[in-house]
Amino acid sequence: MNQLGPTKKIVLLCLLLLLGSCSGLDKQQRTQPNIVFISIDDLNDWVGFLGYEQVKTPHMDRLAARGFSFSNAHCPAPVCGPSRTAILSGMRPVTSGIYDNNIKFSRDLPQVVSLPEHFKNNGYQVYGIGKLFHGSTANVPTTAFDAYGGKLGSAAPFTSSDLQISKQNPYHEISKLGKTFKLPLNGMPADRYWNRANTFDWGPIDLPDSLFSDRQSVDWSIDKLHKIKDQPFLLTLGFERPHQPLFNPKRFHDMYLLNEVELPKTPADDLRDLPQRAKQLALYPKTSGKHETVVKYGQWENAVASYLASVSFVDELVGDLVKALETLKLKNNTWIVLWSDHGWHLGEKSHWGKATGWYRSTRVPFLIIPPAGSTDYKKAIEIKNMVNLLDLAPTMADIAGIPKKTSWEGRSLMPLLREEASDWEEVSLTTFSIGSHTISTPDWQLISYFDGSFELYDLVNDPNQFKNIAYLPESKIVLEQLKKHIPEEPHWNYFIRHGDYKILIPKNGSIKIFDQMLEGKNDKDMAGSLPGLIRKIERYIEQYSPQEKKFIIAALE
């Protein structure tokens, strides 16, 4: 009988260990779940599973019945660029320095590994299409995906050229498939006349679904599901609706009759008790148009109906994607994560669009749906704890069983899903500009402006935020408790308001000055053209040495 020598025994043992490790790796790859990651652009909390009765969202509602819905979810920032950057980088705006839409991920955060790339680096096949990163396709990091299907734009079936303001004098006729459309469909002149395109528009488009960007994105995603050979995979799909313009196939607009549309509640004196900066935010058409224009042209009902139509269009497409997972027998090993980047105003606080600190801008729909075959999690659970979309990255890493990056600032939500969270901090931070933040809890919302002014709302007794109680004596204790959660923003020494000017004084570098009401240029640093004002500010700081970091200067000498 042949005996193995010592050397051969060692070689054989190494081979057995190697085979065992490979087998273990194969088993891990087979058992790691797939994840479908769905983002929806500008979707506020007008969805059925959050209790909004006017909208029809049966597919998202059925998803909620299969898993977890978060009724107190808020965004990291109420603007597309900084919110998506926070979610995909895992870092708050105050950490990354990304506060506005002037963002290109690979240019501005060259050392940061995005969430999709982190999955790719940890053994996942990663696919993406639509609006995930902010901006055009050129803004998507080349290392983020194994395959990226591009981004057509929410104006489709029209192009951005079709929407040019210079062509709308007052209308621009467009022909598609033998049909003529007069843009703008709503007949309103552009309040943001300084922009190239007029996107503050809405109405039905009687053209095939296949011409709309979100339909194309879902079709691409379903085709990719058919072709995926290797698992686990991360499929990321970014819907571009209900971002304006609110153009949808006609049948979705037919679902919402104008004479039956319920408008948001807006008391005539709703801005009366707001600080000056809040009134500016309410009335300035930073991201959409003016409320007075919508009312003047009799378009409020049409706008609300068109927004609801956009939501229902997206809902149907979500249903198509879920059906594909079921048809391809992927549902038993696939998690679904669905979220919106921030909310959207439709006349509340006399505002249209986003970029505010109010509840309508900060609260978002958020679903996490475990695999259909899982018995480890309960179904149809409404989680009322405070969560933030910044929590997405660590939660998804835990779902996938891959490492979490130390730079991520969110909290994994797995303790909530497993009902193991005993000391969850019930607070969420939203940053809506440099120096301005919202602190949300289940009962309260504190809005802190860069000039040191505040709003405080009792969400239990005043869910519509009609009464600012920040300056009532009985609010002092709550106000001081919530103020502790306002971030320091250590890169800045002072935040000052002087008239309409926002003045930022950094620890290092030059003073920055912004005219908050200068139409079309309120985000442009004007310091270079205001040397006299800079000298006055410097003298003021030198003379008074302010102890407060945020304040208002009524007059400068």
Q: What average pLDDT does this structure show over 368-380? A: 90
Query: Minimal CA–CA distance to 369: which of 404, 321, 411?
Result: 321
Tens digit of pLDDT for each residue in 479-529?
999 999 999 999 999 999 999 999 999 998 899 999 999 988 888 999 999
Tens digit of pLDDT for each residue in 287-311?
999 999 999 999 999 999 999 999 9
The catalytically annotated residue of 134, 253, 342, 437 is 134
b/e per residue, 493-502, with b = 16+ CB within 10 A?
A: ebbbbbeebb
What pLDDT, on a 0 to 100 scale, did the predictor assign at position 374? 84
Tens digit of pLDDT for each residue in 75-101?
999 999 999 999 999 999 999 999 999
What pLDDT, on a 0 to 100 scale, did the predictor assign at position 378? 87
Tens digit of pLDDT for each residue in 512-522?
999 999 988 88
**Which of these ranges, 138-142, 181-185, 415-419, has the smallest mean pLDDT?**
138-142
Residues 74 and 410: their CA atoms lie apart, in Å, by: 12
What pLDDT, on a 0 to 100 scale, did the predictor assign at position 447? 98
Tens digit of pLDDT for each residue in 108-145?
999 999 999 999 999 999 999 999 999 888 899 999 99
Residues 119 and 400: their CA atoms lie apart, in Å, by: 9
**Which of these ranges, 21-35, 43-57, 157-171, 249-263, has the smallest mean pLDDT?**
21-35
What pLDDT, on a 0 to 100 scale, did the predictor assign at position 425? 95
The catalytically annotated residue of 74, 80, 118, 291 is 80
pLDDT class for 22, splitting at 50, 70, 90?
Answer: very low
Say whether pLDDT at 11 is over 90: no
Is 80 labeled as catalytic in the residue annotation? yes
Q: Where are the domains of the chain?
A: 33-417, 492-552
The fold adopted by the segment(s) 33-417 is Alkaline Phosphatase, subunit A (3.40.720)
Calculate the alpha carbon distances from 337 to 201, 236, 317 in Å.
30, 10, 15
pLDDT class for 8, splitting at 50, 70, 90?
Answer: low
Tens digit of pLDDT for each residue in 323-347?
999 999 999 999 999 999 999 999 9
CATH class name, domain 492-552: alpha beta
What pLDDT, on a 0 to 100 scale, did the predictor assign at position 357? 98
Residues 486 and 483: their CA atoms lie apart, in Å, by: 5
Say whether pLDDT at 366 is over 80: yes
pTM confidence score: 0.93
Calculate the alpha carbon distances from 144 to 105, 260, 370 in Å.
10, 45, 24
What pLDDT, on a 0 to 100 scale, did the predictor assign at position 9? 52
Say whether pLDDT at 531 is over 60: yes
Query: Minimal CA–CA distance to 301: which of 263, 348, 344, 347?
Result: 263
Token output for 360: 């309508």
pLDDT class for 403, splitting at 50, 70, 90?
Answer: very high
User: Are 287 and 79 a contacting pair, CB within 8 Å?
Assistant: yes
Q: What average pLDDT does this structure show over 352-360? A: 98
